Structure 1
Amino acid sequence: MLLVRKNYVLPTLVLILTTYFLFSTLPPGGEVPYVTKSSEPNKAESTKDDNRIHWSKHPEQHPIVDYISLPTSSPSPIPQIQYGFSPESWLDSLWRKKKRNAVKEAFKHAWMGYKDNAWLRDELSPLSGGYRTSFAGWAATLVDSLDSLLIMGLLDEFEEALRAVERIDFSTTESIQINVFETNIRYLGGLLGAHDLTDGKYPVLLKKATEIAEFLYGSFDTSNRMPQSRWEWTRSAAGLSIQPSGNTILAELGSLNLEFTRMSQLTGDPKYFDAIQRISDNLETAQKQTQVPGLWPMLVDAQSLRFVDTRFTIGGMADSTYEYLPKEHMLLQARTPQYQRMYELAITPIKERLLFRPMTKDGDDILFSGNINVASRSSQKKIEPQAEHLKCFLGGTVGIGAKVFNRPEELSVARKLTDGCIWAYDIMPTGIMPETLYLSPCEDMSDCQWDEQKWHRDIRNRSPKHSNIAETDAAAKALIEKFKLPPGVTEISDPRYMLRPEAIESVFIMYRITGDKKYQDAAWRMFKNIEKTTRTKYAHAAINDVRKTKPAQIDYMESFWLAETLKYFYLIFSEPDLISLDEYVLNTEAHPFKRPS
């Protein structure tokens, strides 16, 4: 018996050491102690100041006589989005939790940096330890992070933040203009997401959401009920008239749906849904009449409701308008076919006019979305092969659309778009995708062999001074060396990484849709490289050039780092039923709204 017992000693010791390693290994950058400190306001106590203008509601100059109510027809069945995951082995669970805990540690490090140095301010400056006022000064990072705290199980920190939220005065700000879109997705979205995750346990969340929604509703008091997207709120507070802009960014007009719809669902007040439904009706009316039927241009004349801009993209300035089509369909329980119609009208020209395959040395079958400008006849069918980090959301959106609208043939498109952004991460020295880059497009989407001379030619043509560059391979090679261009890349026009979430967003969604663990593997590579490169004493910082192995950091950490980027990294390494895509709709700031049942 003694001999038998000794035979178990070595395996038992190995198991203990393995378990210790898995759960105690620190994430890249090392551990920073996480200590709860007092949440008493030290910098930005919100108090009434008689010298400041406060929002007060005046009789509307353009009142609504008959509100458009939430659709009341019977809900239609929506196909399941998430993959049917099987139980995982104990070893898979062990490794997954190790990665999830590394993400949680990164979040706690950044949260403590914000709490200790920028509490109740909008954003932490992660190098200097200062702060930035970027979104009206209402503690954007704090409100934006509420549901992340809940998702990661940081309940003490959540309740501490909630006490601070009660002190925010949404009736006044030093900002002259309010960006309605950003305020909507971060503040209103953040409050509603936390409310839905806690099943209404904390009444203050809906109370403060109503305060900010009531405030934002004032931007719709225009002659055509289109919002003034950069709202001169002090004019409205003084009872003066406002009008929408003749140059309104498409995304700022078409990305208010989810938040205002959820407000009407929760409060029973139809005015919020009425406000955004009028926008949707105008967008649908114009959709077939633009210069690229099915798509809307980057800029809209919201005052005259003209859609005559010649530039079309799904990237910055347009992105979330398209993202919200399948999501609004889900939030409304498919009670109206309108948003499915709009999505199906848009996805065809997206595939036919915007998507391109880049030429790569390994022949990767991947896709990106470019831009088109139909200003001249010669450019009407020419795609500008610009890849953009902001466009990386599209893989996830097409994946969701493929599922909820029963378009299974488009799931491969969603995969190729997501794989394209993973490729753009993997080819960079830092392992991080830049803000914008240009690629050498394939001439044949189905058969694309590597052509060195074509790549060189495309590089010379992309160069800002290409007219003075010799038409030789040697000249192209000099540009490749000078600008550190990986094979297939013709220009890196903005080499920064701004802590953006769009790539990991699609990687997360595609993992939940397909169950393919390659997406978890890609997410872990992305996270390790980002955490290692961006970590600072206080939190995490944007970087100036992903082409350098040791890029300089920028004193900048936008609130979406905690609200979106780290949330998606955490969720992809969590159990699949945590924020199931069949139970929640995530707004464009990753705030989860409960799908009505």
Structure 2
Amino acid sequence: MMKFAWDNYKRYAWGKNELRPLTRNGHTGNMFGGLRGASIVDSLDTLYIMGLMEEYEEAKEWIQNNLDLNSNGEASLFEVNIRYVGGLLSAYYLTGAEIFKQKVMELGEKLLPAFNTPTGIPRGVINLGSGTSSLSPSGYHVSIGGLGDSFYEYLIKSYLMSEKTDQEAQKMYYRAMEAIETNLVQKSPGGLTYVAEWRGGILDHKMGHLACFSGGMIGIGADDGPAGQRQHYLDLAAEITHTCHESYSRSATKLGPEAFRFDAGAEATANRLSDRYYILRPEVIESYMYMWRLTHNPKYREWGWEAVEALEKHCRVDAGFSGIRDVYASTVSHDNMQQSFFLSETLKYLYLLFSDDDLLPLEDWVFNTEAHPLPVIRKRCLQEHGTMQDDGQTNLE
């Protein structure tokens, strides 16, 4: 599936951000501020992990010779960070290729001005040429996913350099984390830590995505919960993941809608026409992968294979994979877009679901919102490289 998606992207959309498989051409858009090659950068680690080395070398060569970071357009900090910064960082840590380090440092410097706010929490839109930043069109600064990714990736970037010239990134990280601790992080009665919605700076994701994403996240967090609550948290993660599977199994295509609800007598289904589409999203499959790693219950692999069969039946077209407009329609209508995150996330999580646990073990790697694996940096490493806070503490845990 990955090779088929990649080969068609290369044939019809090389250098563009995404492939339009029905019309067999490329799509650029304006989300990345003029940056190109999103599917190439997003695919780097997936190609490498899958052992598609010829394709990986093609991608690496394009990045070395053609990835131009001197754009002058307004970009989503969140999207550029998770796809480009995350993709390049991951490729560097997996392969050691210096070109990825060089490019990510150059791009990271262009994004840093967005963090220059009173709280340290970044604005959501930045001009990659001028460095000016602004609120996102919705009026909020950045999403919760964007906060988490931005901070961890910039801490990784600071650790990677360990040079005085890059201490600005480290300082911004700790300043923003302090703002989150002060304004956002709260404790639920059951003991779980969560990030509250803050109207001055946070835009939450749609609940459908958030719920399906949270199944795996709560499962991962179970090990760090109070001893008497760990099984409770794991059971809760399993129940959320089951609900997300139901959103797939209750559709005609066996693929889930963009958002689902529990009202008007409907459970785990989209009762609004505007929520019925599926754009090759990974969140449910991501939870299957995490829950398999945590429990080794074979149902998660069975559910993953159901998703593979549905993707092959309904989303595979002659020149790639396409999202569909209504998961409940027996005759599908395609949206003519092979999203870059399909190669970066959906196919990677499926591959990991059916791989051995020692491929990117969860104790050593953390996946960003775009499924780019980044190394877990432990306190000992931070102490050795002098990147601890003045009080000797770190917020990584």
Is TM > 0.5 for Structure 1 vs Structure 2? yes
Q: Could you tell me how far 1:160 is from its partner in structure 2?
A: 1.5
Alignment-derived partner of residue 396 in structure 1:
216
SS at match of 1:580: coil
Contact 2:208–2:260 (8 Å) recurs in 1? yes
Alignment-derived partner of residue 173 in structure 1:
71
Gaps of 5+ in 2: 379-397
Alignment-derived partner of residue 200 in structure 2:
301
1:254-275 superposed Cα distances (whole Å, 9 cap, x missing partner): 5312211111121113322322
Structure-2 separation of matches of 1:515 and 1:531: 25
SS at match of 1:439: strand
SS at match of 2:320: coil
Alignment-derived partner of residue 184 in structure 2:
287
The alignment-based identity, stated in percent, is 34
Q: Could you tell me how far 1:557 is from its partner in structure 2?
A: 1.7
Alignment-derived partner of residue 42 in structure 2:
144
Structure-1 separation of matches of 2:235 and 2:65: 48
1:455-514 superposed Cα distances (whole Å, 9 cap, x missing partner): xxx34xxxxxxxxxxxxxxxxxxxxxxxxx7x7757244111110000000010000011
1:432-467 superposed Cα distances (whole Å, 9 cap, x missing partner): 111122224xxxxxxxxxxxxxxxxx34xxxxxxxx
Alignment-derived partner of residue 212 in structure 1:
107
Structure-1 separation of matches of 2:245 and 2:269: 15
SS at match of 2:260: strand
Q: How does 1:57-206 map to 2 (within 5 A)?
A: 106-134=1-29, 135=32, 136-173=34-71, 175=73, 177-198=74-95, 200=96, 202-206=97-101
Q: Identify the match of residue 566 of structure 1 among 347, 350, 375.
A: 347
Q: Could you tell me how far 1:393 is from its partner in structure 2?
A: 0.6
Q: Summarize the Cα distance change of 1:123–1:390 in structure 2 as closer, same or farther, 3 Å threshold.
A: farther
Structure-2 separation of matches of 1:562 and 1:389: 18
Q: Could you tell me how far 1:284 is from its partner in structure 2?
A: 1.1
1:158 counterpart letter in structure 2: Y
Structure-1 separation of matches of 2:23 and 2:81: 29
Matched, 1:247 2:133: no
Q: Summarize the Cα distance change of 1:544–1:390 in structure 2 as closer, same or farther, 3 Å threshold.
A: farther
SS at match of 1:116: helix
Q: Summarize the Cα distance change of 1:232–1:510 in structure 2 as closer, same or farther, 3 Å threshold.
A: same
Alignment-derived partner of residue 274 in structure 1:
171
Structure-1 separation of matches of 2:46 and 2:270: 38
Q: Summarize the Cα distance change of 1:215–1:435 in structure 2 as closer, same or farther, 3 Å threshold.
A: same
2:238 counterpart letter in structure 1: R
Structure-1 separation of matches of 2:364 and 2:186: 36
Alignment-derived partner of residue 152 in structure 2:
258
Gaps of 5+ in 1: 1-105, 308-316, 320-370, 372-386, 441-457, 460-484
Q: Identify the match of residue 553 of structure 1 among 324, 331, 334.
A: 334
TM-score w.r.t. structure 2 length? 0.84
Contact 1:189–1:587 (8 Å) recurs in 2? yes
2:62 counterpart letter in structure 1: A
SS at match of 2:65: coil
Q: How does 1:371-382 map to 2 (within 5 A)?
A: none
1:188 counterpart letter in structure 2: V
Q: Summarize the Cα distance change of 1:532–1:206 in structure 2 as closer, same or farther, 3 Å threshold.
A: same
The two structures, once aligned, show a CA RMSD in angstroms of 2.5
Q: Could you tell me how far 1:289 is from its partner in structure 2?
A: 8.4
Structure-2 separation of matches of 1:434 and 1:556: 16
Structure-1 separation of matches of 2:65 and 2:154: 23
Q: Could you tell me how far 1:193 is from its partner in structure 2?
A: 0.8
Higher helix content, 1 or 2: 2
TM-score w.r.t. structure 1 length? 0.57
Q: Could you tell me how far 1:243 is from its partner in structure 2?
A: 5.8
Contact 2:185–2:196 (8 Å) recurs in 1? no
Q: Could you tell me how far 1:224 is from its partner in structure 2?
A: 5.0
Structure-1 separation of matches of 2:44 and 2:348: 11
Structure-1 separation of matches of 2:170 and 2:204: 21
1:263-322 superposed Cα distances (whole Å, 9 cap, x missing partner): 1121113322322222221111113689x995422x6425xxxx8xxxxxxxxx425xxx
SS at match of 1:142: helix
1:219-239 superposed Cα distances (whole Å, 9 cap, x missing partner): 233455442321134443xxx
Q: Identify the match of residue 540 of structure 1 among 321, 337, 341.
A: 321
1:523-561 superposed Cα distances (whole Å, 9 cap, x missing partner): 001111122100011110000111112211111121100
1:155 counterpart letter in structure 2: M
Q: How does 1:431-450 map to 2 (within 5 A)?
A: 431-440=254-263
Q: Could you tell me how far 1:170 is from its partner in structure 2?
A: 4.2
Structure-1 separation of matches of 2:214 and 2:341: 18
2:271 counterpart letter in structure 1: E
**Bigger CA radius of gyration:** 1
Contact 1:495–1:547 (8 Å) recurs in 2? yes
Q: Summarize the Cα distance change of 1:514–1:167 in structure 2 as closer, same or farther, 3 Å threshold.
A: same
Q: Summarize the Cα distance change of 1:421–1:515 in structure 2 as closer, same or farther, 3 Å threshold.
A: same
Contact 1:388–1:437 (8 Å) recurs in 2? yes
Q: Summarize the Cα distance change of 1:492–1:243 in structure 2 as closer, same or farther, 3 Å threshold.
A: closer
Structure-1 separation of matches of 2:270 and 2:252: 16
Q: Summarize the Cα distance change of 1:192–1:287 in structure 2 as closer, same or farther, 3 Å threshold.
A: same
1:150 counterpart letter in structure 2: Y
Q: Summarize the Cα distance change of 1:242–1:533 in structure 2 as closer, same or farther, 3 Å threshold.
A: closer
Structure-2 separation of matches of 1:148 and 1:118: 18
Alignment-derived partner of residue 421 in structure 1:
244
Aligned residues: 361
Q: How does 1:487-526 map to 2 (within 5 A)?
A: 489=269, 491-493=271-273, 494-526=275-307
Structure-1 separation of matches of 2:211 and 2:270: 18
Contact 1:192–1:593 (8 Å) recurs in 2? yes
Structure-1 separation of matches of 2:60 and 2:270: 48
Alignment-derived partner of residue 81 in structure 1:
none
